[in-house]
Amino acid sequence: MSITLGIDLGTQSVKVVCYDTEARQYSAIASAPLPLHQTADGVAEQEADWWIGGLRAALQQVGPDIRQSVTAIGVSGQQHGFVPIDRAGRPLIPVKLWCDTSTGAECDRLTEQFGGASACLTELGNPILPGYTASKVLWFRNQHPERYAQMDCILLPHDYLNFYLTGVKTMEAGDASGTGFLDIRERQWSEKMLRIIDPEQDLRERLPRVETSPTVIGSLLPDIARELGMPAGTPVASGGGDNMMSAVGTSNVEAGVITMSLGTSGTIYSYADAPIIDPNGNIAAFCSSTGGWLPLICTMNCTVGTELMRELFNHDIAAFEASLNASAPGAAGILAVPFFNGERTPNLPNAKACLFGLDSLNMRPEHFLRSAVEGVTFGLRAGLDQLREQGIAAKEIVLTGGGANSPVWRQTVADICNAPVTVLKQTEAAALGAALQATACVTSADLASLTRAQLERDAAACCEPQQAAVDFYADHYHRYHHAATHVAEIYR
């Protein structure tokens, strides 16, 4: 038995999958929850030690015979997090996460000193947004100068797990694209932006090398191997950000595929052979983790919104699905603008969620729940429209993430986006993508061919847009856009 281990470090949990490429199936799937520290002023943090504890707890659920059969490891991780470590490899502060919006002032300062948003787009390919790593580094320098002086290396979340496993400090171009200080065209650090963050030292000396294509970065350390119950010396691949690994796990490694992820955040993206720079800065001009580029739209609120609504009404998953079925498209007139965590697209870090259209007849749980599903999907539809404006088209949307488990939500995506929805039999796209990338690295297999051979459509879960619903949502989407514009005006 030859098993590849894929690890996905998310916001809510650490997931592990043990994938057998010969059988084209999982040998084991396990996860461990993660706590999250959030405050009303936009702080969102985790301790890096929580990630290690979560990885250990998840792997303990996997049988020892399977763990001993692991022949390669790949790591996927939440993007944009900031993990400064000292010379001993110890994190110096709690990790500021992708959904931390508390450094808006630092973003404004960096953008202004760089020459404005247009200069950032021209020279970097991306604006400097709250959540990106650049503003977190500046915040650290200003708020904790003594600890900042001890910083030996800047890592991202998935880099930190790679470092824990191998002792090797690296980044790869896909994940590094979300720092705000990588020139995504050249896949090199921006000396200009780094000088603005810290004019007193060359921060390139505090950054690891950037891998521009998938590769083996190191091997599993003997003491970590004993701790995790796996063979010492197991190759560890470069891995990547969760979006980049989900692209691999949905075979989005060649032009013509669009992936939509219904996770804590919502993302929609497609592979490109050349950089795609949006002059308005709404499309993240990321590199892929496969040697190309991955233009991407990210919304800060996806299952965040639906989970908050579900908890409000004390609905389990079965009751949630039943409620969605009990409410027709349009949620009896309720429109949810679900900016619970602020929002990245549009860029409204201080925004709040709002409900429109409430009356004495529609104040029922099923309508609130359906409005949340529709609201987050409308936000992703707006992203799809922007990708289409840049010439990115596909015949189908490959749906992944926790929200893809809902039949009603899948059909809602098809109807709102007016596109067929494909669901794969293999779930856990990010962890699977990390596993498949690692397999390709150790076997020298062509990644596109490997993913096509391994991934299989779940025909029963795939769905086509229904014309009546498509026509209804075309009008309802315009009403949502009007409502979201008002929210933007209030919380700009």
Active site residues: 242
CA-to-CA distance for 16 and 5, rounded, in angstroms? 7
- For 196, half-sphere exposure in the C-beta direction (CA atoms, 13 angstrom radius) is 21
CA-to-CA distance for 51 and 46, rounded, in angstroms? 8
Q: What is the largest CA-CA distance in the chain?
A: 65
Q: Which residue has the tokens 């000088």?
A: 195
194 φ, ψ (degrees, to nearest 5): -65, -35
45 φ, ψ (degrees, to nearest 5): -140, 155
CA-to-CA distance for 162 and 41, rounded, in angstroms? 31
Q: Which residues pair with 38 in a beta bridge?
A: 44
The SS3 assignment for 173 reads: helix
What are the structure tokens assigned to 39, written together?
Answer: 């405050």
- Contact between 435 and 5 under an 8 Å Cβ cutoff? The reply is yes
- Contact between 17 and 5 under an 8 Å Cβ cutoff? The reply is yes
What are the structure tokens assigned to 143, written together?
Answer: 């708020």
What are the structure tokens assigned to 170, written together?
Answer: 């690296």
Contacts of 201 (CB under 8 A, 6+ apart): none
Q: What is the DSSP string of 263-302?
A: SSSEEEEE-BSS----TTS-SEEEE-SSSSEEEEEEES-S
- Contact between 139 and 130 under an 8 Å Cβ cutoff? The reply is no
What are the structure tokens assigned to 425, written together?
Answer: 């039999």
- For 207, half-sphere exposure in the C-beta direction (CA atoms, 13 angstrom radius) is 23
Q: What is the DSSP code (8-state) at residue 94?
A: P
- Contact between 416 and 282 under an 8 Å Cβ cutoff? The reply is no
- Contact between 434 and 74 under an 8 Å Cβ cutoff? The reply is yes
491 φ, ψ (degrees, to nearest 5): -115, 25
- Contact between 327 and 370 under an 8 Å Cβ cutoff? The reply is yes
